[in-house]
Structure 1
Amino acid sequence: MFKRTRSLICLSVAAVIGTPAPILANTLDLPDIGTTASGTLTIDQEIRYGDAYMRMLRASQPVVNDPVLNAYIDNLGHRLVANASDVKTPFTFFMIRDRNINAFAFFGGYVALHSGLFLHAQSESELASVVAHEIAHVTQRHLARSMEEQARRSPATMAALAGALLLAIASPEAGMAAITATTAGSMQGRINYTRSNEKEADRFGIATLAKAGFEVNAMPRFFGRLADEYRYASKPPPMLLTHPLPEDRITDSRARAQNYPARRVDPSLNYHLARARIVARYTGIEATAAQDWFKRKGSKAGPGIQPAFQYGKALVHLDNNQLDEASVILTKLLQQHPDNLFYLDAMSDLYIAQKQPEKAVSMLEKALKSAPNNAVITINYANALLKQEKNEEAVKVLQRYTHDNPDDVNGWHLLSEANIHLGASDEDLAARAEILALKANWNKAIQYYTQASQLAELGSLKQARYDARIDQLMVQRDRFLALQ
């Protein structure tokens, strides 16, 4: 589809990792210390903290708002959540455009994956092993439990402690500086406590992998390869700063994986399509280098995933306005798999680039009959309607879409654009206000809704809707500020 490429609130899943320390004794039977920490934070409080920090991330980090990639990550993540233990919160999965290898989780079931992770994970099971590990950090409440442990060692209040540990999610080195400056407890104890969390997350993660039908050996294989690659690196990737890989942890995960029956998992085409999309659009490499990558990798790939490398080549052609070359590849791919979301999205882009949005509209209307509530097809359909200058139809589609997907900035951007074309300044302001609220810019969002209310007819239902939303945003703003 169309290509668009810190308040002291949250505690990292591995915020307390510092300098190397003696490795904990190896044990395959880690105690199940459960999901305690209710004395520190309730589940509802964790959800509020998570929502607040997600809004700050949208404002400060290059969160990828790609409908197809988001759908893939969401499907993978919820397949794992459905097979996880102790799930008490909703889960949200998203990607940050960053070539560094990293993943992290925070309060409220939010799990972030760096785009660089896809470049190093060689299979869907390897990617799933990282996601399952992060899910376990959330379900076992490691954030709240770490805060509780810190509180026992330091006289700092919970709010001050959360503030001191915030930065470790996105910047481990800065986070460590804050911890050192603010807390006075034993650093050795904090390191050991976090390493036990890492092993526990591995244990629960492997169990989730097995239940979800993935290859359990993918976890020790990926961790082992990562440790070997960066063993002597002067600057390891962020993932190794927040998720250290001492040899006993890798050995532990390998031994645990052997307790499960060996399972052969066929390569996932959708995983390799997602990987190809990231290489083509989110690594920043030149077209020639990307095409060379697809050619080299494709020459060694099995027939089941060959289409992914052709798809990657088509995206590079499309993004460089080589429309005839892209058309040849995408037409063939879509004929083979007419319901594949990656192909439908790319073909929609192609038709629009060819200034034939009516073809995109026709194709997507047909797709919607088979999958009427699919978010990827719907957002592409709305975009195609806009390019066909069917703005009123686009608004109707987007009003439903934003109601069902209020956290997707793509829907609000398109709704703003459609209302600009219609001359509906008040509705444009309202849509832009929602984008601002998603990024915790509360005052500006309230200002935009106030302007929208002033433009609406006095006493109208529309004005009442704007005023009610202003009241809601004020309450959300006050709750957000109260967390600081």
Structure 2
Amino acid sequence: MLKRAPSVLAMLLGATLSLSSSSLANTSDLPDIGTTAGGTLTIDQERNYGDAYMRILRASQPVINDPVLSEYISSLGYSLVANAEDVKTPFEFFLIRDRNINAFAFFGGHVAIHTGLFLHANSEGELASVVSHEIAHVTQRHLARRMEDQARKNPVTLAALAGSILLAIAAPEAGIAALTATQAGAMQSAINYTRSNEKEADRVGMNTLIKAGYDPHAMPSFFGRLADQYRYASKPPPMLLTHPLPEDRITDSRSRADAYPINPAAPSLEFHMAKARVVARYVGISSDGAMDWLERKEKSASKAMKPTYEYGKALVYLDTKQLDKAEELLLSLQKQFPHSNFVLDALSDLNIEKKTPEKAEALLKEALKIKPRNPVLQINLANVMIEAEKNEQAVRMLQRYTHDNPNDTNGWHLLSKAHANLSDPANELAARGELYALNANWNRAIQSFTQAAQISELGSLQQARFDARIDQLLQQRDQFMALQN
């Protein structure tokens, strides 16, 4: 499934190494603020690069497909985008399972957040300050502006320019390793350019943060604490490699924040539940380690925040099959937060483990009356239906779900499983083909749909549908490969 990804990543690394020292040496001239960067990349081209790179990341990085966390980070991101200026592209927010502190944005409005960021952010405002900063990189078109600046001085291909920048953002160590192969002056000019963009992203991002109702002091508070923590570290986190934090940048951020009154927001229950979920499941520590962290935090937490740590403990109990302990906590949380998707998702998992999927089905159907077509509730209900051997119902729901959420791998995975349970190999292959395509594994995707078409009834509507999808995939593959030229 992931066989093709390394070659594409190797292409991007090769593009990085192929940049001449002269092209890097000319990146210190910051383009005028507000340039459209239209001379190098159009918005449509940015979207094409963004889509291609997102497929590469799905295949090569541990992208988290957790419906609840995806909903939380997307909701946070979209609330900030709604208050941002110069938004010219749709946005997509996603999480990568990595304890390193990092976040990065790339073409087409894609914003990645490492789970390590949750561990170091003390509030939703601090997390929002990082996300708003990354949104600003997109709205100010920093990648395209940098490419435009390089292209004016050196006739390299868009693929080489895009490859070098994308690689340096997502894999800073590889990007810096490539830079060290060039002269010191070239490296310094690239760093200077980056720092100029960082300051602009701080300024624009803080405006977004304020308009969205967050305390602007959250930004210098988080950045200052991060700089202090790693000031003398021999190996700083990736975020400080791609987002340098010199003292003047922190000072500027603090000065801008001081122009506004302190606006302390009430602690966000959803943020702390998301953080507890990350600790319980996505930072690579043992269940004992996660439980120890949750219990220590719970002791010093306010009464209002204690349920968030109880939620994290319930997840640990659930994942270690201590179902009675998990159930006691989750039923208590359900009484306090009957409409919380965090709690409803965990209760669904609990009932699956207890072999009582019908209870979860009733719970989720009731919740969907209040929040119709909610993706978290829908995907949980489809999963529960499969466990209850109601595969036909699950297929009908998942067909709608994948139409509305075509980039969610959860939907295609469950649809493939439901078709397999129904002994429907053609549609099982088709669903698997969509998964391959989402991971840039075009040949396997085309092969899956070809096999699906071959075993379909000759001349049937199903066969025609599969053939049409093969044509689309061939075109997408050609467009994807053309980005290298």
TM-score using structure 1 length: 0.93
Q: Which residue in the other structure is 1:250 paired with?
A: 250
Q: What is the DSSP-based 3-state SS (H/G/I as helix, E as strand, rest coil) of the residue aligned with 2:170? A: coil
Deviation at 1:162, TM superposition (A): 2.6
Deviation at 1:444, TM superposition (A): 0.6
Q: Which residue in the other structure is 1:266 paired with?
A: 266
Write the deviation string for residues 426-479 of structure 1: whole angstroms up to 9, x where unpaired.
000000000000000001100100100111111111111101110110110000
- Matches of 2:256 and 2:451 in 1, distance apart? 59
Deviation at 1:186, TM superposition (A): 3.7
Q: What is the DSSP-based 3-state SS (H/G/I as helix, E as strand, rest coil) of the residue aligned with 1:48? A: helix
- Matches of 1:331 and 1:163 in 2, distance apart? 50
Q: What is the DSSP-based 3-state SS (H/G/I as helix, E as strand, rest coil) of the residue aligned with 2:392? A: helix
Q: Which residue in the other structure is 1:201 paired with?
A: 201
- Matches of 2:183 and 2:414 in 1, distance apart? 46
Residue pairs, 1:367-382, within 5 angstroms: 367-382=367-382
Deviation at 1:299, TM superposition (A): 1.3
Q: Which consecutive residues of structure 1, in runs of 5 or more, have no partner in the other structure?
A: 1-5, 16-23, 25-29
- Matches of 1:75 and 1:171 in 2, distance apart? 26
Deviation at 1:176, TM superposition (A): 2.4
Deviation at 1:399, TM superposition (A): 0.5
Residue pairs, 1:46-445, within 5 angstroms: 46-179=46-179, 181=181, 186-445=186-445
Residues 165-174 or 396-405, more deviating: 165-174
Q: Which consecutive residues of structure 2, in runs of 5 or more, have no partner in the other structure?
A: 1-8, 20-27
The two structures, once aligned, show a CA RMSD in angstroms of 2.0
C-alpha contact (below 8 Å) 1:153/1:186 kept by paired residues: no
C-alpha contact (below 8 Å) 1:352/1:387 kept by paired residues: yes
Q: Which residue in the other structure is 2:449 paired with?
A: 449
- Matches of 1:108 and 1:83 in 2, distance apart? 18
Deviation at 1:180, TM superposition (A): 5.0
- Matches of 2:162 and 2:290 in 1, distance apart? 42
Write the deviation string for residues 165-207 of structure 1: whole angstroms up to 9, x where unpaired.
4421222121123345579984333222211100000000100
**1:103 partner amino acid:** A
Residues 59-68 or 142-151, more deviating: 142-151
Write the deviation string for residues 302-333 of structure 1: whole angstroms up to 9, x where unpaired.
22221110000000000000000000000010
C-alpha contact (below 8 Å) 1:9/1:53 kept by paired residues: no
C-alpha contact (below 8 Å) 1:391/1:422 kept by paired residues: yes
Write the deviation string for residues 389-448 of structure 1: whole angstroms up to 9, x where unpaired.
001001001000000000000011100000001000000000000000000000110010
Q: How many residue pairs align between the two structures? A: 465
C-alpha contact (below 8 Å) 1:9/1:483 kept by paired residues: no
- Matches of 2:159 and 2:431 in 1, distance apart? 33
Q: Which residue in the other structure is 1:471 paired with?
A: 471
TM-score using structure 2 length: 0.92
Q: What is the DSSP-based 3-state SS (H/G/I as helix, E as strand, rest coil) of the residue aligned with 2:108? A: coil
- Matches of 1:286 and 1:173 in 2, distance apart? 28
**1:272 partner amino acid:** H
Provide the identity percentage: 67
**1:240 partner amino acid:** L
Deviation at 1:48, TM superposition (A): 0.3
Q: What is the DSSP-based 3-state SS (H/G/I as helix, E as strand, rest coil) of the residue aligned with 1:169? A: helix
C-alpha contact (below 8 Å) 1:52/1:480 kept by paired residues: yes
Write the deviation string for residues 73-119 of structure 1: whole angstroms up to 9, x where unpaired.
00000000000010000000000000000000000000000000000
C-alpha contact (below 8 Å) 2:102/2:239 kept by paired residues: yes
- Matches of 1:180 and 1:41 in 2, distance apart? 27
- Matches of 1:241 and 1:460 in 2, distance apart? 55
Distance 1:444 1:61, change over 3 A: same
Distance 1:41 1:179, change over 3 A: farther
